[in-house]
Amino acid sequence: MDSSQPKHAQIGTLILATSCVQLASGFFGTFISLRVALEGFDATMAGLVLSSVYAGLAVGAVRSGRIIERIGHIRAYAAFAGLIIAATAAMTFWVGSLSWLLLRAIIGFGFAGLFVTTESWLNAKAHAAERGRVFSLYMVGTFVALAIGQLLIGRIAIETSLPFTTIIALCAVALVMVSTTRAEPPMASIMPTLPYGQLTRIAPVAVVGAALSGLIASSFYTLVPLWMNGRGIDQKTIGLFMLVAVLGGLAFQVPVGRLSDQFDRRAVLAALCVGFAFIAIALIYLPRSLPFILPAGAALGGFMSTLYPVCVAHAHDRMLGDRVIAVTGRLILVSGCASVVGPLIGTILMAAYGIDGVLYLLAAAALLLAAFAAAGSRTSPSLSHRERPFEILAPQASSLAHDPRGASEKRAPPGSGD
């Protein structure tokens, strides 16, 4: 440990810096959805631009661990932040569907790399006895930052270059903060790999759930602002709606976690999906005033943000303890691949069947997962839950590097189980 900087100060710096990055990420996700509509891209290309960031996130989740191992945490953090800054700056003068598709994928890769770097770094610095508290603080900071990012939507003119400048400034501030500390590499250990197909055979509900929850989340965060804009809802209200959706996700984590630890997780998953589908359809017919749409947004965000954590916990119930990292990595990959598809399908449906198509897509995906989870609950018995089986995961990008049982086990190098 660097004697000139206490460990807790280093942890606080990392959390604060990543909160800046998450603030930028939350604002960027909603802003780009509105900006794509403003640029007039056709439906297919708009979907590709909006989904490309999830392709970058998925690739970054798989590959960034090896980059960190090779060049170290501070250099990796600087490299990933530099990618985001450069690609965001390029979007201001290289405007076009193909160019933005490429640049958004690069930005997604950079964000994934920053999150993996931060989480593996925190895991190395925090002692086992305090790791749970550290990651709880980290995730609360993440949710709050994502929520605050939505407030910028109503305060910055999206047709100007100011949103891009704001994102660049936030990432640059995070880079400066992290550059003033020193990295300590995570404790490496060799973890078993997971053969392809094994997780699907043992925990099919978890795999299907990871895929459909990824599709739902990516479609929600990229297309619901577009839907609201198409329905004539003003920018400030869109920002408030997305804000309460993020906060609803935070509020639902603990109660849903307790329910899933007490009952069959597949039954809890099915109930969450039915609730989400009902609210998604109701949103089409609700008045556009704040007293109606804000509670709906909070409920949607709450139901949606707990789908993936329940799937992860269910998978961990059914796999051996030494496969935790491999299972998490595989579910991240499945979720990331499905996240790419969601905005593309959604924009095509919106073009073909009207602006409400995205909400019907969200409801249909949720009901499909509900049916699959309910069927799995009836056909195979529930297993006993493991110790600390449910963890809070951030919306938009799942927890990319956090080992949910890391408080009692050594940490593997990020990406080693992928």
Domain-terminating residue out of 188, 208, 240: 188
DSSP code of 401? S
In a domain, 159, yes or no: yes
Q: Which of 188, 208, 239 is the last residue of a domain?
A: 188
Asked whether residue 142 falls in the same domain as residue 197, the answer is: no
Boundary (domain end) residue, out of 129, 161, 188? 188
For residue 262, give its domain range: 190-398
pTM for the whole structure: 0.83
343 lies in some domain: yes
Q: 252 and 138 in one domain?
A: no
The answer to whether position 369 is within a domain reads yes
CA angle 242, 165, 241 (to 5 degrees): 10
One domain for residues 2 and 147: yes
| 274 shares a domain with 140 | no
Round to whole Å and give the CA distance between 418 and 413.
11
Question: Do 160 and 225 share a domain, yes or no?
Answer: no
| Amino acid in position 271 | A
Same domain flag for 123 and 65: yes
CATH at residue 269: 1.20.1250.20
Do 121 and 108 share a domain, yes or no?
yes
Specify whether 118 is located in the same domain as 199.
Answer: no
Question: Is 122 in the same domain as 164?
Answer: yes
Each residue's pLDDT expressed in tens, for the chain with a length of 418 residues = 444 445 667 778 888 898 999 999 999 999 999 999 888 888 888 889 999 999 998 888 888 888 888 888 888 889 999 999 999 999 998 988 899 999 999 999 999 889 888 887 777 776 666 666 777 788 888 888 988 988 888 888 888 999 999 999 999 999 998 887 765 555 555 555 666 677 778 889 989 999 999 999 999 999 999 899 888 888 889 999 999 999 999 899 888 888 888 888 899 999 999 999 999 999 999 998 899 999 999 999 999 999 988 888 888 787 765 556 677 777 888 888 899 999 989 988 888 888 888 999 999 999 999 999 999 877 776 655 554 456 666 665 555 545 444 433 443 333 333 3
**229, 143: one domain:** no
Within a domain: 415: no
- Give the total number of structural domains in the chain: 2
DSSP string, 245-303: HHHHHHHHHHHHHHHHHHS-HHHHHHHHHHHHHHHHHHHHHS-SSHHHHHHHHHHHHHH
Residues 5 and 139 in one domain: yes
The single-letter code of the amino acid at 294 is L
**Residues 94, 183 share a domain:** yes
Residue 404 domain-assigned? no
